[in-house]
Amino acid sequence: MEFTTLALRAAYARDPNTANPLFAWLDALKDYSPSTLKVVDKSRDTGALTPDGKEVRWVAGELHNLCTASADFCKGLEIAAILAEGAVRKQNLTQVGKATGTATASDENPNAEDRERAQPEPCAPMTPGGVGPNINGRKAERKKLRDDYKAECKQSGVKVTDEMIAEAANPRWHSRANIQKWLACDPKYDGVPDGKIRKVFRDKPHLPKNQPTKHQQ
What confidence score (pLDDT) does residue 14 get?
79
pLDDT at 46: 63
Q: What's residue 91's pLDDT?
A: 79
What is the residue extent of each domain of the chain?
2-43+58-69, 134-217
Instruction: Convert 118-152 to b/e letters by CB count within 10 Å (16 or more is b).
Output: eeeebbbbbbbeebbbeeeebeebbeebbeebbeb
Q: Are 164 and 158 in contact (CB under 8 A)?
A: no
Written as tens digits, the pLDDT of the chain (217 aa) is 578 888 888 888 878 888 888 888 777 776 766 566 676 666 666 666 677 777 766 666 677 777 877 787 787 778 877 888 888 888 777 777 666 655 444 444 444 444 444 444 444 444 443 344 478 888 999 999 999 999 999 999 999 999 999 999 999 999 999 999 999 999 989 888 999 999 999 999 999 875 555 545 5
Report the pLDDT value the prediction gives residue 45, as an integer from 0 to 100. 63
pLDDT at 180: 94
Quote the pLDDT of residue 119.
45
What is the pTM assigned to this prediction?
0.41
Quote the pLDDT of residue 117. 44
What's the confidence (pLDDT) of residue 148?
94
Q: What local confidence, expressed as pLDDT, does residue 155 receive?
A: 92
Distance CA 187, CA 182 (A): 8
Q: Which pLDDT belongs to residue 84?
A: 83
Q: What is the pLDDT of residue 42?
A: 63
- Phi and psi angles of residue 121, each rounded to the nearest 5 degrees, phi first: -65, 135
Q: Alpha-carbon distance 14 to 190, whole Å?
A: 11
pLDDT of residue 54: 76
Cβ atoms of 135 and 185 within 8 Å: the answer is: yes
